Amino acid sequence: MISAVGHEVDTTLADYAADARAPTPSAAAEMAVPDRAVLFAALRQYRCAMADALGNQLERAFDELANTAGKNSPQKLGYHIVERRQTLDDMSDRLLSCHKGENYRGPSPPE
């Protein structure tokens, strides 16, 4: 809260309760509203930081992809795909069971 009664010499109760005191209502408005140039400078800094973070994340992902591609044979990749597909199927079953209000009983045994 900013107290700004006006061009008064007296101190009001609001002055004591306020977090800050401005000599005029115009000065109070200047205190309450941040400078536009400062906001734009901060936005530019945030944008640069986000771009750097995204670039670093992409670089790590490409490095991980290159390392993974070199280590996995096509047979292992096929196994991982089947394994992940089964995990997704199980998760889907759990989600549908929860949506229907049923208790999840796990994957059904093979027939």
22-6-11 Cα angle (round to 5) = 75
Segment 32-88, tens digit of pLDDT:
788 888 899 999 999 999 998 999 899 988 888 877 766 666 677 778 888 888 989
Q: Is the dihedral of CA 47, 48, 51, 57 positive or negative?
A: negative
Q: Is the pTM value of this prediction over 0.75?
A: no
Query: What count of residues does the chain have?
Result: 111
